[in-house]
Structure 1
Amino acid sequence: MKSYEVNFDGLVGPTHNYGGLSYGNVASQSNSQQSSNPKEAALQGLAKMKALMEMGFQQGVLAPQERPDVAALRRLGFSGTDAQVIERAAKEAMPLLVASCSASSMWVANAATVSPSADTADGRVHFTAANLNCKYHRSIEHPTTSRVLGAMFANQQNFAHHAALPAVAQFGDEGAANHTRFCREYGEAGVEFFVFGRSAFDNRFPAPQKYPARQTLEASQAVARLHGLRDEGVVYAQQNPNVIDQGVFHNDVIAVGNGEVLFYHEDAFLDTESMLAELQSKLAKVGGNFQSVCVPRSAVTVDDAVRSYLFNSQLLSRPDGSMLLIVPQECQANERVWAYLQSLTSSGGLIREVKVFDLKQSMQNGGGPACLRLRVALNETELAAVNPGVIMTPPLYGSLTAWVEKHYRDRLSETDLADPQLLLECRTALDELTQILKLGAVYPFQIN
């Protein structure tokens, strides 16, 4: 039976804005308060989805969240009609209104952690929504995320869904941005690789001094237990706290893996050699041949990696066994990064081709190609059980492009977030989107 890695890309929401909400994310903070272009952002994301579909890769879509999140503002004491809630929040606590309007759910690498059926004890694909409790504006996402994933992967014979972990610092969980999987074939048993920034209960692990480490070891271990993973099929690794302090807030900013290959920066991890040896040993036990591509700091600095998002790329397997790297335009603009990529692809190694995409709107807010997609390994039976409305096709691309053109603004500033009309525009757009994607009622305004 054939198996596939399906990339479900986040559709950028109508309130895409540069709120500068993510401390530790250099791009997010440096572009704070600039005007954004939600329409351009959504169309850039859709163009990437279309291109991958046309290259022969399985591609899906993950819907955005309802924003502004009026219910979240009500929980914080704002009352009255929806318009009054927004107006009062804008007057009394603008930072809370900005947080409630965040479109960060577009970065669905943080939506959940996914384990394929070949790895799990019950033979189902398992999803655990990430609690994202390190940042308030993202901590409010997981209830809707769970409903959307449930509508996409509804067949209980094939799919199992878990609620987010307890929303406390000890179980900080950032989803697939700190998780990848190595395997010979997507439908075969593999090794799941969990990267953490700190331990909540064991002070033997060093912690960063400047920026927070968002993923805990304990959260990663809990997800592995929930998914029924075998000890011999899991490797835990600690992110280098020094690179976290340089703006590497998730592992997918400094490393990316796919198939049997890990592409990583020399300074990405602690105890790198023992980690690589464990990955090689465990993957060999299930018939795999682990390989790694290390980018030396002499060629690309950590600062280069953060500014270009070289590692926040998509590493894709082609039919001939070689790898394709999908990178943002910022890699081409960085002289050292581009020189490295040219030498990499001309060397006859594992990564043979680089394709560049314009994702400027997302990049300015701190998310590149890898942030925009959630990877789900599925066999043919499981793929057939996925809600067909969310699988990208040429007609769906056309429908979504027309939908964006109809509903999205082409300029949004912080002051625009206080306009109650924006909420109505968002709800009208999302109500239509759930019909296009055949999701049913997944948003609070549709349920309450």
Structure 2
Amino acid sequence: MSLQEINFDGLVGPSHNYAGLSLGNIASASHKGDTSYPKAAALQGVAKMRGNLERLGVQGFLLPLPRPNHRLAERLAYDGTEAPALRAAPWSASSMWTANAATVSPAPDTKDGKCHLTPANLVTMLHRAQEWPDTKRMLEVVFGDRDHFAVHDIVPPTFGDEGAANHMRFCEGHGSAGVEVFVYGRPGGKFPARQHEQSSRLVARQHGLDPEKCVFIEQNPVAIDAGAFHNDVVSVANERVLFTHAEAFADQQGAYNAILAAFPDLEVVEVPSDAVSLEEAIRTYLFNAQLVTLPDGTMALIVPEECRESASVWAYCERMMAGNGPIKHVIPVDVRQSMANGGGPACLRLRVVCDPATVDPRFMLDEAKADLLEKTIAEHYPEQIDPDDLWTESLEKHVVAARQALLTALGIGELA
């Protein structure tokens, strides 16, 4: 097999709206009640995918889940008098952030030599806890080759699990055996700690990982309370490199030592607080970036445009590119619609190391399919959604028809 890392981006759904449902996500809360632009958001996402397809030669995607979710509305006894958060939850398009779709362990790391995926239960937030049944169903289609993939049930909901956003992997090359790092939070702070330590340990056992090649690290509670609701808001890894803020972990040096004990070739690029404050790192999502290896072997950091607009962040990036470290390129992309709801380039993608030939080809991007997605979005997505539009008959018809148009165009009827 020819193993490659494939980024599966979540296509922004036609119900994309700003309801501010995510406690601890400062961007989401600050844009609560704003008008959203689903068509623009989805086209920004496709443009990002196009760029990565050109840079990396391979790109996948996952589709929006069915919205509004009438099953959830029925369980909430919805009658239109609910609190705004309950009213909005069945419309949430948050599945676009596929870093929370699942935790993925590539075949070289697992006992049975298969790529294992455990869908995240996302139990901490109502609007996200509804996702996993449909997410699992989609993963079972995308990665349906049972000779190469194993898709598991969720972790029991007693333990919160938020997927790959709290998981890193270090290796010499994506196709070689690696060390998997699980980052968890402890409860009791200002905002919820969404990843439970036992969830991470259960996933590692379920995936058949070598205990000597697993590292469990506590996220810095200060970072969580500052708005780093997932580890990928303050750290990102690729192959041998960890790009991280100096305040990412509860015991920063202890975290490095734990990883080094399992992976001696670790190379840490730490951004000091006096160069980029924790608050500015979270505001601009410097670390919620895609750190990728380009075909020439150099590494590139794909960041949101907001990084270029920050004096301290961009000054640091320029110094980094001019230095002799492993990250040679910083590439800004426009994902402003996603950023306003609290998700940057890293939130929008799930990393899966596998042979592209083993993936359902309908979920693999090429230029023709990117054209098809853009055409379908342009023709069928709502231009904008205002808070009062939710639960109107006209918006529901529009959103349902737009998702169906995607499924029809791509020939994926089994997810209807």
**TM-score bracket, shorter-length normalisation:** over 0.9
Higher mean C-alpha displacement, 10-19 vs 48-57: 48-57
Instruction: Report what 1:166 is aligned to.
Output: 156
Partner of 2:256: 276
2:352 is matched with which residue?
376
Amino acid at match of 1:429: A
1:440 matched to which residue of 2?
Answer: 413
SS of the counterpart of 1:395?
Answer: helix
Amino acid at match of 1:343: R
Preserved contact between residue 56 and residue 294 of structure 2 (Cα < 8 Å): no
Give the distance between the partners of 2:181 and 2:19, measured in 1 at CA: 32
Question: What TM-score comes out, normalization by structure 2 length?
Answer: 0.97
2:173 aligns with 185
- Quote the residue 1:55 is aligned against: 55
Contact 2:246 2:273 in 1 (8 A): yes
Look up the match of 1:64: 64
Tell me the equivalent position of 1:345. Answer: 321
Distance (whole Å) between structure 1 residues aligned to residue 281 and residue 82 of structure 2: 39
> Which deviates the most, 271-280 or 121-130?
271-280
**1:299 paired residue number:** 275
Pair 1:240-2:220 in alignment: yes
Letter in 1 for 2:313: V
Question: Alpha-carbon deviation of 1:105?
Answer: 0.7
Q: 1:213 aligns with which of 188, 193, 198?
A: 193
Q: Secondary structure at 1:418's aligned position in 2?
A: coil
**What SS does structure 1 have at the residue aligned with 2:53?**
helix
Equivalent residue, structure 2, for 1:407: 380
In structure 2, what is the Cα distance between the partners aligned to 1:359 and 1:194?
27
Q: How much has 1:270 moved relative to structure 2?
A: 1.9
Moved more, 316-325 or 12-21: 316-325
Of residues 316-325 and 359-368 in structure 1, the stretch that sits farther from structure 2 once superposed is: 316-325
**Matches of 2:188 and 2:222 in 1, distance apart?**
6
Superposition RMSD in Å: 1.3
Secondary structure at 2:300 match in 1? strand
Gapped runs of 5+ residues in structure 2? none
Distance 1:125 1:437 in 2: 25
* Structure 1 position 209, deviation (Å): 2.2
SS at match of 2:77: coil
1:261 equivalent to 2:261? Answer: no
Over residues 397-424 of structure 1, what are the superposed CA-to-partner deviations in whole Å (9 max), with x where a residue is unaligned?
0000011011111111111112122222
Query: 92, 100, 111: which is aligned to 1:102?
Result: 92
Percent identical pairs in the alignment equals 47
2:117 to 115, 121, 127: 127
Q: Supply the AA of the counterpart residue of 2:249.
A: F
Query: One-letter code of the match for 2:112?
Result: D
Indicate whether 1:18 and 2:8 are aligned: no
Shift of residue 193, structure 1, vs aligned partner: 0.7
Question: For each residue in 1:215-248, what CA deviation from the matched residue of structure 2 results, as whole angstroms up to 9, or x when unmatched?
Answer: 0100000100110111011111000001111111
Q: In structure 2, what is the equivalent of residue 85 of structure 1?
A: none
Number of equivalences? 416
2:205 to 200, 208, 225: 225
Amino acid at match of 1:319: P
Amino acid corresponding to residue 52 of structure 2 in structure 1: L
In 1, Cα distance between equivalents of 2:34 and 2:290: 27
Q: Give deviations 1:178-205, integer Å, cap 9, x for gaps.
A: 001111111111000100012xxxxxxx
Q: 2:287 aligns with which of 311, 323, 330?
A: 311
Secondary structure of the residue aligned to 1:349 is: coil
The answer to whether the 8 Å contact 1:115/1:126 transfers is: yes
Question: TM-score of the superposition, structure 1-length normalised?
Answer: 0.91
- Aligned-partner residue type, residue 201 of structure 2: Q
8 Å Cα contact 1:24-1:249 kept in structure 2: yes
Shift of 1:92: 4.4
Amino acid across the alignment from 2:54: E
Which letter maps to 1:436? Answer: A
Q: Which of 328, 336, 348 is matched with 2:304 structurally?
A: 328
Match of 1:40 in 2: 40
Identify the residue that residue 202 of structure 1 maps to in structure 2. none
| Deviation string, structure 1 residues 17-72 (Cα, Å, up to 9, x no partner) | 11000110000000100001000000001000001111134211100111111111
Q: Which residue pairs with 1:358 in the alignment?
A: 334
- Rounded to whole Å, the distance in 1 between the matches of 2:30 and 2:268 is 33
Change (3 A) 1:221 1:92: closer
